[in-house]
């Protein structure tokens, strides 16, 4: 009994000691948190009705920084965050930027929304009728899906510019500094060319639920620049947008300020590649192939390498009855290459793929180039073979326009399902056939005329030869491998040559002409300098709709010496081919644009290519061209016109053959022996 009472007293002493130790540890922990947390007293943060005090002065180190007074966290959000899970969901949404994701190479990819089903529409044809301005992308705001597509990848020696800083993950201590300054990445706001055109003002409120300080420490956070990047996808969206987290000194609430941001397509490019630089890149890539060495040898490769030897040693031709020599970089090589293409080239067209995305061409409107090539290629008995083992090239017959029409969810601002669809298709081809795997797709080609095609075919079709209307060197267009496809606006599918031709030079009284919608940043600049400023410069905005207006537009092109072809949202414009169609000397104003068939045609002989900064001096530049030089250029336009025409049945040297030849020509100089 004595020992039992002694044991109980010892246990009571030990209990008191343990309780004392626990209390000391708890007090020490709370004291340490009080010192470490940027929000102040940790004990207060544990109380549901307590208010967490922000530092006295919080400043944004962005372009338009603001200094604000202290406020309460419970009042600093105007939305609904009912639980800690809601906070995590909000932070994740901010971080991923409207379901955005960071791919393995650091570029921004939009992820597929689970609600978006990748199902093509019913099998039907879409003919998009345009007005006079045919650069139009039907949903202009969709251009901000290209916001982070600014990849400059001209060659191995060229600096690749990636906008990775827009997705940097920062901890709460990095965003809200303990010295009282809320740091936003000023470079992110100052240098980012790819941001929203008009971010809507919105806010999110923090409810009175318990949010512990240690939970706030572990909260996944984003920069203020990323917060500004969030946008509303619909008017009745249930997710609030954040534009700025700025405490208001007067009423301790958010300052709902709208920050005007501009899309990438509404700002000049960061870098400019001149035509002379493009020509140097072409020469270097011709001499040094960047294509992947095939995994095993093929008789077709040997035939291509033999053809290359003949092309490089082609007999010199000074004059030709069929071709206009000055319009070509090297007419002798072109002539020999074209003859060899007609003699030996065989193409296999994959049968896989369902309509309307595959095997259903669009023959009219803005995207007619990809449709006409598809129709004429699939129906060609001269080049197409049924046995893929006999093919030198493999054609992926999809329509980028029908891909957008069938799969894109209107106003979703998410195109990842389009790219995923093509990725699945290419993987299906690679799994079923061995030809893709032999070269990594280097002997495969695609023809696409949609503005989104560079994005849709990135990564999984990166080694393919891409014939693209949107031939922008800052969007990954590879000079010497890819082909700049002419964007042709076909007004009549039954008669694509309707209204062909124009007035002779002596009857062209107008110095320069342009009319069209104000797409992009460049056209408003053009009108600002020249609209209603000079009678010799007929520079207009959008022309009225209707047949009479269209005919008036055509007559203006037929009667003008120079037709101004400024870029729209993207670098390409159908006006380049329209000008040639109506025998008007095209004046291309589009930085980083690779002109059609750049590998074989000498554009200096039949066009003017001006830098965007030269718009204020446009008239003086045009007047500085001597009359005899203009006559030579106008003659060259008429001579090369045949290379930019579609025919129901392909004609030698026409647009179909020129496109196929450019693909063949680039493949010849990219082929490597095993």
Tokens of 624: 């500085």
Residues ≥6 apart with Cβ < 8 Å to 549: 131, 132, 543
Mean pLDDT of successive 10-residue segments in the chain (674 residues)?
Answer: 56 73 84 52 39 37 36 36 37 35 33 37 41 34 34 36 37 31 34 37 35 36 35 35 35 40 82 95 85 88 96 92 95 97 98 96 96 98 96 98 95 93 96 95 97 95 96 95 97 94 96 95 97 95 86 95 97 97 98 97 98 97 97 98 97 98 96 84
- Three-state secondary structure call for residue 67: strand
> Sign of torsion, CA 159 165 167 168?
positive
Domain extents for the chain?
A: 275-491+658-670, 505-644
* The Cα angle at residue 40 between residues 39 and 44, in degrees rounded to 5: 100
Tokens of 221: 């956070």
Question: Of 415, 406, 421, which is closest to residue 99 (Cα–Cα)?
Answer: 415
pLDDT at 550: 86
Question: Of 193, 219, 196, 205, which is closest to residue 256 (Cα–Cα)?
Answer: 205
* Rounded Cα gap, residues 301 and 439, in angstroms: 11
* The Cα angle at residue 415 between residues 413 and 421, in degrees rounded to 5: 160
Specify the DSSP class assigned to residue 364. S
Compute the chain's Rg from CA coordinates.
31
* Rounded Cα gap, residues 91 and 79, in angstroms: 13
pLDDT at 539: 96
- Second-level CATH architecture of 505-644: 3-Layer(aba) Sandwich (3.40)
* Rounded Cα gap, residues 579 and 185, in angstroms: 46
Q: Tokens 């827009």 label which residue?
A: 166
Q: Tokens 């060319």 label which residue?
A: 193
* Rounded Cα gap, residues 409 and 419, in angstroms: 13
* Rounded Cα gap, residues 544 and 553, in angstroms: 10
* Rounded Cα gap, residues 582 and 603, in angstroms: 17
Question: Of 268, 270, 269, 286, which is closest to residue 155 (Cα–Cα)?
Answer: 286
Residue 467 β-bridge partners: 447, 483
Q: Tokens 């002779």 label which residue?
A: 504
Burial of 428 (0-12, 13-18, 19+ CB in 10 A): middle
Give the ranges where 222-355 is alpha helix by DSSP (H): 224-229, 275-287, 299-312, 331-344
Give the ranges where 156-265 is alpha helix by DSSP (H): 172-175, 186-191, 213-217, 224-229
* Rounded Cα gap, residues 380 and 648, in angstroms: 12
Specify the DSSP class assigned to residue 206. B
Burial of 197 (0-12, 13-18, 19+ CB in 10 A): middle
Tokens of 35: 């010192």
Q: How far is CA 458 from CA 105, 426, 465, 650, in A?
A: 12, 12, 12, 31
The rounded Cα 88 to chain-centroid distance in angstroms is: 31
Tokens of 629: 């030089």
Q: What is the largest CA-CA distance in the chain?
A: 130
**Exposed e or buried b per residue across 538-547, where buried means at least 16 C-beta atoms within 10 angstroms of its C-beta:** bbbeebeeee
């Amino acid at each position: 009994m004595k020992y039992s009472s002694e044991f109980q007293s010892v246990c009571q002493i030990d209990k008191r000691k343990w309780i004392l130790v626990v209390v000391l540890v708890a007090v020490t922990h709370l004291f340490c948190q009080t010192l470490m947390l940027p929000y102040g007293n940790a004990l207060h943060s544990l109380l549901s009705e307590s208010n967490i005090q922000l530092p006295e002065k919080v400043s944004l180190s962005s372009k338009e920084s603001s200094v604000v007074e202290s406020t309460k966290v419970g009042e600093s959000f105007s939305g609904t965050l009912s639980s800690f899970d809601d906070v995590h969901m909000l932070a994740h949404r901010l971080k991923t930027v409207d379901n955005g994701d960071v791919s393995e190479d650091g570029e921004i990819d939009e992820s597929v929304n689970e609600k978006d089903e990748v199902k093509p529409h019913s099998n039907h044809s879409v003919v998009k009728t345009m007005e006079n301005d045919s650069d139009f992308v039907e949903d202009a705001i969709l251009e901000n899906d290209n916001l982070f597509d600014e990849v400059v990848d001209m060659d191995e020696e060229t600096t690749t510019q990636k906008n990775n800083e827009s997705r940097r993950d920062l901890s709460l201590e990095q965003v809200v500094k303990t010295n009282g300054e809320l740091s936003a990445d000023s470079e992110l706001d100052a240098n980012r060319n790819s941001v929203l055109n008009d971010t809507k003002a919105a806010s999110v409120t923090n409810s009175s639920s318990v949010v512990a300080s240690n939970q706030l420490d572990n909260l996944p956070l984003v920069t203020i620049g990323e917060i500004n990047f969030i946008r509303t996808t619909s008017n009745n969206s249930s997710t609030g947008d954040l534009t700025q987290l700025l405490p208001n000194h007067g009423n301790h609430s958010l300052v709902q300020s709208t920050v005007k941001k501009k899309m990438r397509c509404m700002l000049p490019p960061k870098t400019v590649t001149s035509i002379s630089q493009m020509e140097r890149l072409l020469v270097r890539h011709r001499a040094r192939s960047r294509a992947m060495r095939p995994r095993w040898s093929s008789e077709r490769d040997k035939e291509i390498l033999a053809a290359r030897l003949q092309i490089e040693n082609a007999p010199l031709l000074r004059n030709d009855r069929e071709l206009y020599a000055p319009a070509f970089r090297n007419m002798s090589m072109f002539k020999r290459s074209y003859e060899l293409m007609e003699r030996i080239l065989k193409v296999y067209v994959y049968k896989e793929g369902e309509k309307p995305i595959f095997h259903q061409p669009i023959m009219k409107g803005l995207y007619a180039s990809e449709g006409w090539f598809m129709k004429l290629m699939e129906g060609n008995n001269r080049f197409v073979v049924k046995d893929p083992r006999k093919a030198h090239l493999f054609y992926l017959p999809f329509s980028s326009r029908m891909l957008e029409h069938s799969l894109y969810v209107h106003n979703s601002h998410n195109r990842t399902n389009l790219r995923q669809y093509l990725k699945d298709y290419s993987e299906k081809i690679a799994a079923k056939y061995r030809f893709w795997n032999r070269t990594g797709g280097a002997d495969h080609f695609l023809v696409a005329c949609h503005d989104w095609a560079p994005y849709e075919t990135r990564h999984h079709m990166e080694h393919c030869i891409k014939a693209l209307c949107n031939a922008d060197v800052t969007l990954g267009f590879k000079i010497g491998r890819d082909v700049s496809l002419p964007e042709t606006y076909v007004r009549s599918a039954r008669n694509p040559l309707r209204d062909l031709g124009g007035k002779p030079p002596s009857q062209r009284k107008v110095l320069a002409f342009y009319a069209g919608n104000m797409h992009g940043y460049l056209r408003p600049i053009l009108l600002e300098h020249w609209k209603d400023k000079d009678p010799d410069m007929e520079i207009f905005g959008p022309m009225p709709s209707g047949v009479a207006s269209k005919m008036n537009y055509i007559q203006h092109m037929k009667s003008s010496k120079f037709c101004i072809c400024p870029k729209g949202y993207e670098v390409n414009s159908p006006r380049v081919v329209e000008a040639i169609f109506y025998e008007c000397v095209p004046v291309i104003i589009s930085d980083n644009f690779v002109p059609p068939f750049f590998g074989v045609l000498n554009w200096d002989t039949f066009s003017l290519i001006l830098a965007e900064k030269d718009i204020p001096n446009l008239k003086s530049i045009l007047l500085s061209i001597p009359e005899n030089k203009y006559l030579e250029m106008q003659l060259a336009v008429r001579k090369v016109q045949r290379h930019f025409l579609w025919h129901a049945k392909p004609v030698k040297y026409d647009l179909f053959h020129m496109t196929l030849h450019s693909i063949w020509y680039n493949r010849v100089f990219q082929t490597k022996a095993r």
